[in-house]
Structure formats: structure tokens, C-alpha cells
Structure 1
Amino acid sequence: MKTWYVMLAIAAGAVLPIQVGVNSTLRHGIGSPIVAALISFGVGTVCLLAYALAARAEWPTAQMLAKLPMWAWIGGVVGAFYVATAILVAPKLGAANLVCLTIAAQLFMSLLLDHYGLIGFAQHGINVARIVGALLLIAGTVMIVKY
């Protein structure tokens, strides 16, 4: 693995609980988890647009968009579900519990996606080492959530 990508993945993971805390504060300030998620996505959209314009990103053609599979369009829906759910759940569970549960769910879904090579991922079969690693993560999750 390239060090840069590993560091970037770690940084992305590290900012998720920060995002949850910031969005939760936004929710408490305005009173609505859905409106807080909408504001969060609006700010993110403006930032991504500014970056795309500054980087002179190439925009897709209509033909490129038409060739995409239908499931390629649900990324925003999934992101909105996660952000809205995190805003709603974080105050009840706390940052550590929320992150543990979401990471455990991400790992198991990732194992399935890799095993079957779904939605554009290369196929990487489930093996004993991956199962043991997943079980250790579950054990850690149970310890953090329960205690």
C-alpha cells in the first residue's frame, strides 16, 4: 500500500467523529437533525464545487452519465442517511459507541463486498485471517459499548 493513501484513510477516519460532534452541535443549535444534515451537505457541496473549479476538474458528458449503472447514483443518499443517523444517534450513544458500531458494520459489509466483488470492488475472498480480525473487532466493539 502506498503510505500517502494509508495516511489519507486514517485522516478520513479520524475526522468522522469530529464531523459527528460538529453536526450534533449544529442540530442542537437549530433543533432539527434533518435540517442540520442538509446544512452540512450544503456546506460540503459548496466546498467541493470550489475545489472542482479551482482544480479545473473535467465535467462528465451526458454520454458518460448515461452509461453509469443506476446504483451509481445512490452515494449521496447513503451519505445523507449516515450523516442524518449519526446526528440523531450520537447524543444518545456517544462518539466512541457510535464509531465502534459503525466501524464494525462497515467492516462486515466490506468483507461481503470484497468477497463477492460487488459494486466495483475487486474480489478478495473471505479467509480465516479476515474472519478472526472481524471477530476481534466485534469483541472490541462489545467491550467499548458495554463498558
Structure 2
Amino acid sequence: MAILLIALALFMGAIISIYLPMISQTAKILGSGPMANVPFFGIAFAASIIIAFATGNKAEQFQKITVLPPWLLTAGVMSAGMIIGSSFLIPKIGIGTFFVLLVSGQVLAGMVFGYFGLFGVPASAMSYGKVIGAILVIAGVYLVTFR
């Protein structure tokens, strides 16, 4: 089971490597990063509803959306910022550098969030292995970004 979950996570990483450059190309064609979000989110919204119904979600689950804490809805703003930011950065710094920095930010922020138990994730102790891993991530960023 764990191997399947790891494979799925790797596949999702590969998908991000595909769709962010696609959004960047959309922004180039449309002449606007924010406009590149419009078709993306429209299709994502429709696909999410179809998938939700196809996987057994019911109308009462959709009604619960109205009771979500407002701070959780800021994830939509963050998502829009990610898409707009990637459509701006990829043509300027290149896709390799962009993804190294993106993943490094995720790893380092994840360590902090995990240590403090932020955003509903279980707290996890800091270890020498994690600190060494963070140092290696930063070294990797340097090597890829500044060669």
C-alpha cells in the first residue's frame, strides 16, 4: 500500500511539472497571468464537481461548504497566486530553477509547519536528519540556481 501512495505522490509531482508550464504558455498566449487563471479555474471547478458527484458526495456535503471557516477559503487565493506566480516566473528563471525553488520552499515550510503543528498537521519533533536534509535542500538550491 505504501508503495502505491508513494507512486501516486510522485505522479502528482510530475503532473505539477506539466500543468504549471501549460498555464505559463496560456498566460503568454492571452498576454496576462491573471487571465490564464480564468479557463484553468473554470475547468477545475467543473471537474471538481463532476468528480465529487462521481465519488458519492451528496447535496448535503455541498451545503457544508457554507460553514467552512473563512481562513480556509484563502487557499483559493493562494492557488490563484501560485498559478499567476508560476506563469510570471517560469519564463524568467526557467522551469528547472523554478521547480527546485518551489519544492525547496515546500520542504522547508513543511518542516516548520510540522514542528509547530500549524494548520492542523500533527506536530513532529526536529531531528538531526531533518536539519541535515534541510541543509542539503538549501545546498541543492544553490547548485541548481547559481550553478
Structure 1 and Structure 2 fold alike (TM over 0.5): yes
Aligned to 2:42: 42
Where 1:126 maps in the other structure, the secondary structure is coil
Q: How many residues align?
A: 146
Alignment of 1:6-45 (within 5 A): 6-45=6-45
The answer to whether 1:58 aligns with 2:58 is yes
The answer to whether 1:141 aligns with 2:141 is yes
Residues 93 and 64 from structure 1, CA distance in 2 versus in 1: closer, same or farther, beyond 3 angstroms?
A: closer
Q: Could you list the structure 1 runs, at least 4 aligned residues long, displaced by more than 4 angstroms after superposition.
A: 61-65
Aligned to 1:78: 78
The CA deviation at 1:55 is: 2.0
Aligned to 2:126: 126
Q: Structure 1, unaligned stretches of length 5 or more? A: none
CA distance in 2, matches of 1:80, 1:131: 31
Query: TM-score if structure 1 supplies the norm length?
Result: 0.90
Structure 1 residues 65-120: Cα deviation after superposition (integer angstroms, max 9, x where no partner): 42x44322221111111111001111001111100111111111101110011111
The CA deviation at 1:5 is: 1.7
The CA deviation at 1:58 is: 3.2
CA distance in 2, matches of 1:61, 1:55: 13
Query: TM-score if structure 2 supplies the norm length?
Result: 0.90
RMSD: 1.8
CA distance in 2, matches of 1:26, 1:70: 30
Please tell me the residue identity of whatever aligns with 2:143: M
CA distance in 2, matches of 1:80, 1:64: 19
CA distance in 1, matches of 2:116, 2:6: 24
Aligned to 1:117: 117
State percent identity of aligned pairs: 23
Where 2:139 maps in the other structure, the secondary structure is helix
Residues 64 and 136 from structure 1, CA distance in 2 versus in 1: closer, same or farther, beyond 3 angstroms?
A: same
